[in-house]
Amino acid sequence: MPTLGELLPFLIPIVIIQLVLLVVALLDLFKEERRVRWFGKPVWALIIFFVNIVGPLVYFFLGREDV
Amino acid sequence: MNGFGLLLRKEIQEQTRTMRLLVVAIVLALFGITSPPLAKYLPEILRAVAPGQVPPGLIPTPTTADSVAQILKNVGQFGAIAAILLAMGSVATEKERGTAALVLTKPVSRAGFLVAKLVAISLNLLLGTVVACALGYVYTAMLFETLPPAGFVAMTLVLWLSLVVYAALTFLGSTLARSAMAGAGLGLVFMLVTGIVSALPNVGRWMPEGLAAPASALALGRDPGDLWGPLAANVALIAGCAVVAWLVFRRQEL
């Protein structure tokens, strides 16, 4: 199996992507004018925060009113 | 096509404002990053998941071709999903909300309105495909060997063309339908048809699915065979979708 050191070049960009998605999605969610679908804003915040990578993507594709 | 430039700028601004540009690039980038290590470490992952159940020699040693195949498969599949998501509501939602009628009160033609949308979606997919393939190229070089860059660029463009075909099919569905979901449904049906046709002998290589083999050959620096015919067929398919969409849209009451 590959060691952690071998995997770091792949893990680092994925972690950066996760952090960028998390911050951008949360900033977008908490805009005053943002309207969301299916759930309320607190539930979306939990989904974005706790479901790595997929959570923010689901929010962007399905949660936002204008997408 | 009156007002094309203006409408294209509006569409690109909307893609940026709604984060679609960023999200598609990030999703495809993830598959660009993860495909080469998946190809490299798949035998070890399988051996770790089922210890003792994978006989030695059953899974061949991964090669550069496996890495390219993973990139084409993963970026291709999720790029197709992104193409559907981008195109499904492009016309239908604007008709539903009445914004299409509002935009068309300005001195812009219906053809310009449609082409600007399709070009903006294609540019979004181009950005995502380029980012994903560039990362895939770097990680393939790190884990396997450095491939000829020109061939990889050609592969990227062929892959992008196949994604634009899926976007154009869904775009046609979105023009025919009254809601985004119906547009997506029609797009999926059209894609299913191309998928079935691609399984037929002789005709299959003319479909978007048939571009994967020559794209892989290009990336690996091999002879892709007759590529110009299938490329022309796919460009014609995109143009055909745009023309049919225009013929339908110009008669629609908004």
Task: Write the pLDDT tens digit of every residue in B88-133.
Answer: 989 998 998 889 989 888 888 999 999 999 999 999 999 999 999 9
The answer to whether residue A53 neighbours chain B at the CB level (below 8 Å) is yes
Per residue in B228-242, pLDDT (tens digit) is 999 999 999 999 999
Integer Cα distance of B29 and A52 in angstroms = 16
CA proximity to B93, closest of B182, B187, B188, B185: B182
pLDDT at A52: 86
pLDDT at B166: 96
Predicted confidence band at B178 (pLDDT cuts at 50, 70, 90)?
A: confident
Domain membership flag for residue A49: yes
- Interface contact flag, A14 B135, Cβ < 8 Å: no
| Encoded tokens for B115 | 């082409």
- Interface contact flag, B22 A24, Cβ < 8 Å: yes
Domain membership flag for residue A27: no
Integer Cα distance of B111 and B249 in angstroms = 9
The answer to whether residue A29 neighbours chain B at the CB level (below 8 Å) is no
Interface ipTM above 0.90: no
Contact between B86 and B126 under an 8 Å Cβ cutoff? The reply is no
Contact between B86 and B24 under an 8 Å Cβ cutoff? The reply is yes
Structural domain including A14 reads 4-22+32-63
Domain membership flag for residue A11: yes
Residue scoring higher pLDDT (B52 or B216): B216
Domain membership flag for residue A18: yes
pLDDT at A66: 66
Q: How many domains does chain A have?
A: 1
* pLDDT over 70 (residue A1): no
